[in-house]
Amino acid sequence: MTSDDLGLLPRPWQMSITGEQYPWQGDRDGEDVVVIKNQPVPGLLAGSPTWQRKEAYRLEIVAGRAEITAEGELGVANARRTLRQLRTSRTVPDLVITDRPEFEWRGLSVDIARHFFGVEDLVAVMDIMAELGLNRLHLHLSDDQGWRIEIPAIPELTERSSRTSVGGGPGGFLSQEDLDFLVAQGVRRGIAIVPEVDVPGHVTAALHALPGLNPDGAQPDVYEGIEVGISSLTEDLPETERFLEGVFGTLVPHGQEGVHIGGDECLLTPPAEFNRLVASAAGYVRAAGRPVIAWQEAAPVLEEGEYLQVWDERQDLSGVVEAARRGVRIIASPATRVYLDMKYADDERLGLTWAGTTTLREAYEWDPRALFEGLDPAAVHGVEACIFTETIETQDELLYMLMPRLAAVAEVAWAGTGIGTEGQWESFEARVRVRELWRPPSP
Ligand code: ACM
């Protein structure tokens, strides 16, 4: 028996097998597990930040009985997740695990705009995320191809622009109650919902619904193709401010850990106007006391403690470096590694290839703290996988693209890097096989 045979995903920070195998003792739900709370986890490094200490745990198993030590509820929940995975075997060796995540922000972004995915699909995704120790579900709620979130003050958005999608599919949208429900389901699983409405680009659906957002008053058709950079808000229109205030004011109560304002690929927005529009959107989130999250292009506008999501290494990244110097927190989402809508291999039916193909190994073997030259490694606070859905229409297709690559991203988010010690990839691959998640790169 090696630790890989136990199939833990993600791999714990430190783990040693200390004795023989025993059958599990006690009841299956683990109600009788001994939990020692409000107790510092022994063995963490000096200087471990508060958030990390709160998520840390020690799990000791002796003769089939488990004991958890943690400072707080988050640590206990993390320990119980590991215990659930161990419990899928009939017997268990004596062992000691000391575990803590490297990154506080461990996310997945799902595009429900290009094709719509509803509550049931998103709960299925959250179940997988919870098993992998991921804690942020970012929802891309609007784009050129559809508007997917009810905004009670602006009902035209869903009335006129929710019934479309890429290629002319049926569309759909989340009501406010649906979003409340998802937030509540997330709380049960340790996952915060991060709502995103993407501005000032990616807005054809909004321009279609609201004539006043168009300087000439002419409404474009909702777009069913997959080009980007084709639309923009315009400043100094009364409707633009009403739109930004109505939308972000509505999202803020749902975004406990922050609200994403987009900011990517605004090819039609003049740079100075872009900065002012992004600052205006950010202002509504800041006024509510919530962190702003934005894609890398919005770097000049973000403030200390806010989150910048880096996705495209081909762009000029000097603004990102500069933002990191100001204390902006970086979320690593390099498209070449964690865009799980990229095909596994060229001959697959699903997915795109603009950032290349991405095998399981490529999703695993990278280091978020070495994202690109010149970025302070200490500025990286998170890792987030993304799945855009231009080619993805069903829950089966969504889960096919996510797994097992999401397990690779989760392990990087917990361990800090998928490269380093010899045999690390082989260990990961072995554990993916134990959990029966293995699939050849191309079906
Ligand atoms: C993005 O992929 N445009 C963030």
pLDDT tens digits along 158-190: 999 999 999 998 999 999 999 999 999 999 999
CB atoms within 10 A of CB 373: 7
- Does the Cβ of 414 fall within 6 Å of ligand 1? no
Cβ distance 258 to 307 under 8 Å? yes
Distance, CA of 60 to chain centre: 30
* Residue having the nearest C-alpha atom to atom 3 of ligand 1: 264
- Does the Cβ of 198 fall within 6 Å of ligand 1? no
Q: Where are the alpha helices (DSSP H) in 217-317?
A: 238-251, 271-287
| % the chain with pLDDT above 90 | 95
User: Which among 394, 406, 414 has a CA at the least distance from the CA of 439?
Assistant: 406
Tens digit of pLDDT for each residue in 346-381? 999 999 999 999 999 999 999 999 999 999 999 999
- Does the Cβ of 243 fall within 6 Å of ligand 1? no
Cβ distance 398 to 122 under 8 Å? no
Alpha-carbon distance 293 to 286, whole Å?
11
Burial pattern 253-273, b for ≥16 Cβ within 10 A else e, equals: ebbebbbbbbbbbbeebeeeb
Q: Distance from the CA of 264 to the center of ligand 1, in angstroms? A: 6
* Three-class SS of 58-92: EEEEECCEEEEEECCHHHHHHHHHHHHHHCCCCEE
3-state secondary structure of 134: coil
3-state secondary structure of 93: strand
- In angstroms, what CA-CA distances link 221 with 144, 148, 157, 224? 10, 16, 13, 9
**Residue 413 CB contacts under 8 Å (≥ 6 apart), including other chains:** 10, 101, 102, 103, 106, 133, 134, 368, 382, 383
- pLDDT tier at 338 (50, 70, 90 boundaries)? very high
Nearest atom in ligand 1 to the alpha carbon of residue 309 is 4
Nearest atom in ligand 1 to the alpha carbon of residue 335 is 2
| pLDDT for residue 46 is more than 60 | yes
Alpha-carbon distance 110 to 78, whole Å?
23
Q: Determine the residue of 307, 312, 341 to mutate for testing ligand 1's pocket, defined as the one with the most ligand atoms within 8 A of the Cβ atom.
A: 312
Mean pLDDT of the chain: 96
Nearest atom in ligand 1 to the alpha carbon of residue 386 is 2
Q: Distance from the CA of 114 to the center of ligand 1, in angstroms? A: 13
- pLDDT tier at 60 (50, 70, 90 boundaries)? very high
**Amino acid 123: pLDDT:** 98
Nearest atom in ligand 1 to the alpha carbon of residue 228 is 3
> What end-to-end distance do the CA atoms of the chain give, in Å?
31
Active-site annotation holds for 265: yes
Alpha-carbon distance 392 to 167, whole Å?
11
Cβ distance 232 to 184 under 8 Å? no
Q: Distance from the CA of 85 to the center of ligand 1, in angstroms? A: 34
> How many Cα atoms sit within 13 Å of 288 on the Cβ side?
20
Cβ distance 434 to 2 under 8 Å? no
* Residue having the nearest C-alpha atom to atom 2 of ligand 1: 311
**Amino acid 35: pLDDT:** 95
- Does the Cβ of 306 fall within 6 Å of ligand 1? no
**Amino acid 32: pLDDT:** 84
- Does the Cβ of 311 fall within 6 Å of ligand 1? yes
Alpha-carbon distance 1 to 256, whole Å?
43
DSSP sequence for 384-439: EEEE--SS--SHHHHHHHHTTHHHHHHHHHHHS-S-SSTTHHHHHHHHHHHTT---
- pLDDT tier at 443 (50, 70, 90 boundaries)? very low
Q: Distance from the CA of 312 to the center of ligand 1, in angstroms? A: 8
Catalytic residue among 265, 362, 390, 393: 265
- Does the Cβ of 295 fall within 6 Å of ligand 1? yes
Tens digit of pLDDT for each residue in 140-154? 999 999 999 999 999
Q: Determine the residue of 143, 311, 353, 358 to mutate for testing ligand 1's pocket, defined as the one with the most ligand atoms within 8 A of the Cβ atom.
A: 311
Alpha-carbon distance 205 to 419, whole Å?
42
Burial (Cβ within 10 Å: 0-12, 13-18, ≥19) of residue 427: middle
Cβ distance 290 to 313 under 8 Å? no
Task: Provide the pairing of β-strand 91-99 with 14-23.
Answer: antiparallel
- Does the Cβ of 362 fall within 6 Å of ligand 1? no
Alpha-carbon distance 80 to 66, whole Å?
10
- In one-letter notation, the amino acid at residue 20 is E
Q: Can you say whether residue 217 is alpha, beta or left, with left for phi > 0 and alpha for psi between -120 and 50 degrees?
A: left
Q: Distance from the CA of 390 to the center of ligand 1, in angstroms? A: 12
**Residue 268 CB contacts under 8 Å (≥ 6 apart), including other chains:** 201, 229, 230, 231, 232
- Does the Cβ of 390 fall within 6 Å of ligand 1? no
3-state secondary structure of 240: helix
Q: Distance from the CA of 236 to the center of ligand 1, in angstroms? A: 26
Nearest atom in ligand 1 to the alpha carbon of residue 202 is 3
User: Which among 73, 84, 240, 220 has a CA at the least distance from the CA of 161?
Assistant: 220
Token pair for residue 205? 């659906």
Q: Determine the residue of 199, 265, 266, 315 to mutate for testing ligand 1's pocket, defined as the one with the most ligand atoms within 8 A of the Cβ atom.
A: 265
Tens digit of pLDDT for each residue in 262-290? 999 999 999 999 999 999 999 999 999 99
Tens digit of pLDDT for each residue in 409-428? 999 999 999 999 999 999 99
User: Which among 255, 116, 108, 277 has a CA at the least distance from the CA of 203?
Assistant: 277
Q: Distance from the CA of 432 to the center of ligand 1, in angstroms? A: 29
Token pair for residue 53? 């200490």
**Amino acid 427: pLDDT:** 97
| % the chain with pLDDT above 70 | 99
- Does the Cβ of 264 fall within 6 Å of ligand 1? yes
Place of tokens 């880096």: 310
User: Which among 211, 229, 212 has a CA at the least distance from the CA of 220?
Assistant: 211
